[in-house]
A = this chain, B = another copy of it.
C-alpha cells in the first residue's frame, strides 16, 4: 500500500482533531469545574460524531470509524462531566 505525502497529512490531521479533546477531558476531570464549557456544543458535537460513526460504518471506512469512535468516547465523557459537575462551584 503506497501512502502519498498528502495522505500522511490527512492521517496527522485526523490524529490531531481526534485527540485534541483529551486535554479537555484531563482538565475537566482534574478541576471538576465546567461552568465555561458549553453544554449545547457537546450535545451537538456528540450527535454529529455519532452520525459520522454511522456514516463510516455504512461506507465501511476504517478511518472514519476509528477516528469518530475515539472522538465519541472523549467528547461524550466531557458531556457526562459537564452534566455531573454542573452545580458544583469552582474548586
A→B interface (CB under 8 Å)? 6, 9-10, 12-24, 26-28, 31, 33-42, 44-45, 47-49, 51-52, 54-55, 58-59, 90
Contacts and interface: CB of A to CB of B under 8 A. Distances in A.
Contact of A37 (B10, B37, B59): B37
Please classify the interface of chain A as helix (H, G, I), strand (E, B), loop, or mixed, using the class held by over half of its residues.
helix
Given A13-B51, A17-B44, A27-B38, 20 more contacts: A9-B51, A10-B51, A10-B55, A12-B51, A13-B55, A15-B48, A16-B48, A17-B49, A19-B44, A20-B40, A20-B41, A21-B45, A22-B41, A23-B38, A23-B44, A27-B41, A33-B36, A35-B36, A36-B36, A37-B37
